[in-house]
Amino acid sequence: MSVVELWIVETHRKHHRKYEWVQPDGGTLTERNMNITDLNVNTVEPSVERGLGFGKSVVNTDDSFSVSCAFRAYPPVSVVWKREDGSALPSNIFNTSSTEHEDGKFTVTTSTVKWSGTDADARRGRGDTMFCEAHNFFHRVRSTIMELIIHYAPGAASIHGDSTALVGDNVTLVCEADLGNPEGFYTWMKPEEEFPFEKNLNIWNLNVDDDEGEYECFVVNYVCLVLNEILILRNQSSTRMIHFSMSCAFRAKPAASVVWKRKDDSALPSGIFSTSYTQQADGKFTITISTLTWSGTDADARKGQGGKRSCEADNGFYTVKSNSMDLTIQCSPSLKKAVPSDQKHGVTVGASVYFFVEAISHPTPDFQWKRTFNNGTTVNLHSNDSGNKSILTISDIKMEDFGNYTVSAQNIFGRWEDVKFELQTLDKPRPPTELSCEATAQSLTLSWAPGWDGGLLQTFTITYSTNGFAELILDIPDSTDFSRISYKLTEGISAKKSYSVAIFAINSQGSSKVVSWDPITTPDSTEEFATKYLAGQVEIVEKLRNIWNIEIPLGFTRQRGLSEE
């Protein structure tokens, strides 16, 4: 007896059928010894067990980054990752791996993408769309397309321009930097002055008094801040907060009077500085010496009051200005600026945020950020510091990251104590409070105090009803400054009816609990008119009595059951 084998390569649904074997006999086909066999090819089209979502953001320095997709199929699938254009993911940036586990007669294949290597700079600008595709020779299926956004810090800034320009020249300084992702913004600074967020800084008709000094350009986004600077010209005086004086002298005939001014010709603040002068004869001339010292004893008020200043002499015939002096006031750190200004961030799990502080301090302080727990324990955190500025970045936020953070700053003269920040989870809003209402025969004027908005934009919804009438009002905007909100209802409002009124707040996370006013009854229209009319008449007569000492006529003291209190 011979054995005959039938091989079918790459089986498919089209192979689901009966097969016959016909034995040849002497060169002719007969149906002797015929065998009929059913061949069933059982396959299951892969299905997406876990998709990618539509977007994910990650900081390029976050080595915990990973993203996965999973497919259920029989037989098992192999998975490849691709860009939206069908090209493979760059192997020097991404690494893929797969695992399988059995689930009944199916196999679930999970494929994961992580960073390849540890070069965070190589990841800059390499975000793009991607998807995972599964196939098992019978079927092919792919996930949704996800956009991967890779955030990264700006590159080091550098300033290009002529630092040896002459007085009267026009100078353009150019700040060059990779702006990072999200794109950071340029900021130019010099002592006591901040310039617009532009790449180029133009200085027209260069003036030593106004334009000399140390120029800084930095680029910042939430990931990091970088700084660079250029020294053009500097004439500096440094002083401690305790003792300070500086003087200028003019020789003139007749004697000159002297005033001190800032570089913009404004007067020095009298609460910070005090001036005095002495005069002495020098032949036919008079020498006037003017001295600048502290005014008062409030050392904290002196912080940040340095910068260029000069003295100007005038004897009625001529005006002469001294050279400028750049006064640096050495002091312990104090807070100049915080971002966000309310020192609170409301975010969702997986997001990334930053806290920023800028100090008034000379010399430059050392910053220390801490995570502060409810039991009083703390953990020191790494921050990006540059000069008097410091940034704490919190990436890929988890539930345990929500809570309180503090930052302190210290130099040789002292420190500020723990400026507090709070990281809050985004949530549904809280209900309005302090409900009140003013009712007339034709309207209800409602008033309430907004509750906490959950860290998101919130609106309000009002429902009101009476017998045979109900109304819903949507999308009442929140106040911009946390003040009370008033809203007037007129549709469906009439005299001598009782109304049920309720309100709730809503944001993208959900809605607050519904709160209600006590039942509101509108007054009778005639009584309302009489009340307003009588009140107006009494007010007029009261004014007359106050002016001419006239008694209120008896007819105004009681009318339709209403009396003057």
Task: Point out the least confidently predicted range of 55-59, 197-201, 286-290, 415-419.
Answer: 197-201
Q: Which fold has domain 332-425?
A: Immunoglobulin-like (2.60.40)
Confidence at residue 533, expressed as pLDDT on a 0 to 100 scale: 61
344 contacts 424 by C-beta, under 8 angstroms = yes
C-beta separation of 46 from 77 below 8 A:
yes
Looking at residue 16, what is its pLDDT? Answer: 45
For 433-521, which CATH class?
Answer: mainly beta
> Which strands form 285-294's sheet, in the order they lie side by side?
245-252, 285-294, 273-282
Q: 459: closest CA among 445, 438, 473? A: 473
For 44-151, CATH gives 2.60.40.10
Question: How many other C-beta atoms lie within 10 A of the C-beta of residue 41?
Answer: 13
Average pLDDT of every residue of the chain:
77
Cβ(491)–Cβ(440) below 8 Å? no
pLDDT (0 to 100) of residue 559: 42
CA dist., res. 69 & res. 129, Å (int) = 15
How far from the centroid of its chain's Cα atoms is residue 491's Cα?
Answer: 40
Closest by CA position to 426, among listed 352, 507, 339, 481: 507
What lies within 8 Å, CB to CB, of 76 at 6+ separation is 100, 107, 109, 136
State mean pLDDT over 312-326.
71
Topology match between the domains 236-329 and 433-521: yes
Residue of 124, 111, 147, 120 lying closest to 62 (CA atoms): 120
Which of 153-162, 177-186, 334-343, 519-528 reaches the highest mean pLDDT? 334-343
| 294/351: higher pLDDT | 351
DSSP assignments along 516-532, one per residue: EPPPEEPPPHHHHHHHH
Read off the pLDDT band of 17 (50, 70, 90). very low
Lookup: tokens for 375: 């039991």
Does residue 15 come out as left (phi exceeding 0), alpha (psi in the -120 to 50 range) or beta?
Answer: alpha
Least confident of 11-15, 341-345, 406-410: 11-15
Answer yes or no: are the C-beta atoms of 185 and 197 closer than 8 Å.
Answer: yes
CATH superfamily of 236-329: Immunoglobulins (2.60.40.10)
Residue with tokens 């801490």: 370
DSSP for residue 540: H
Domain ranges of the chain: 44-151, 158-233, 236-329, 332-425, 433-521, 529-563
Reduce the DSSP state of residue 40 to 3 states and report it: coil
Q: Which residue has the higher pLDDT, 270 or 443?
A: 443
Q: What is the pLDDT of residue 327?
A: 64
Spatial CB neighbours of 102, under 8 Å, sequence gap ≥ 6: 108
pLDDT(11) > 60 = no
Q: Tens digit of pLDDT for each residue in 229-256?
A: 333 323 333 444 445 667 777 777 788 8
196 pLDDT tier (thresholds 50, 70, 90): low
151 three-state secondary structure:
strand
- For the record, the structure tokens of 200 come out as 């180029």
Q: Report the candidate in 266, 258, 263, 268 with the shortest Cα–Cα distance to residue 288.
A: 258
Residue with tokens 């009083």: 376
Q: Is the pLDDT of residue 466 over 80?
A: yes
The domain 158-233 is placed in CATH, from the list 2.60.40.10, 3.40.50.880, 3.30.70.20, 3.90.1150.10, at 2.60.40.10
* Rg from Cα positions in the chain: 40
Average pLDDT value for residue range 379-398: 92
Average pLDDT of 91-99? 92
The rounded distance, in Å, linking the Cα atoms of 475 and 288 is 70
DSSP state of 365: P
End-to-end, the C-alpha distance of the chain in Å comes to 125
